[in-house]
Amino acid sequence: RTNMVKQGISPPSFIWFWFPVVYLRQRDQKQDKPWRLMQVWLLCTALSIAGIYLLNRQSGTENLAQSACAVVTKILHKEGSDERCIRVTDMHEEVSGRFWQAQALLNTGVKEPVTIEVRGRDIYVVLPETGE
């Protein structure tokens, strides 16, 4: 704003500061510049939104894996086994947001295939060998 005033150009109103796209467009237009600032801002905004979406999706999958691991441990203890789940890996979504195929890594080093079903806020885990 200060540089624009020094150049004898009236800067955009402070009101437009709350709407960055409009502010940057007006600023570039008044200086007879290409829309570079607005383009950079739009690119950064799009990249930020995409990054946030990917992080949220990944953290949701990670939370599901941790919950499924706890359920696998409960199932194994219910069967009388001393094994416990360390982590659930190789998660592949079979039906959008509902069924997942994965591998449960046990403390013995064995990987057990598991099927995870999401029903609302509840999850159901099936170990194919046990049928539970």
Please write the tens of the pLDDT for every residue from 64-88: 888 889 999 999 888 888 899 999 9
For residues 109 and 93, the model is more confident at 109
CB 63 within 8 A of CB 45: no
Give the predicted TM-score (pTM) of the model.
0.53
Residue 17 pLDDT > 60: yes
Query: Average pLDDT over the chain, rounded to whole?
Result: 82
For residues 9 and 102, the model is more confident at 102
The per-residue pLDDT for range 26-44, each reduced to its tens digit, is 777 777 777 777 788 889 9
- Residue 130: per-residue pLDDT: 54
CA torsion, ordered 9, 10, 16, 19, to nearest 10 deg: 0
Q: Are strands 122-126 and 85-95 parallel, antiparallel or unpaired?
A: unpaired
| Structure tokens given for 77 | 């203890």
- Residue 26: per-residue pLDDT: 78
- Residue 48: per-residue pLDDT: 93
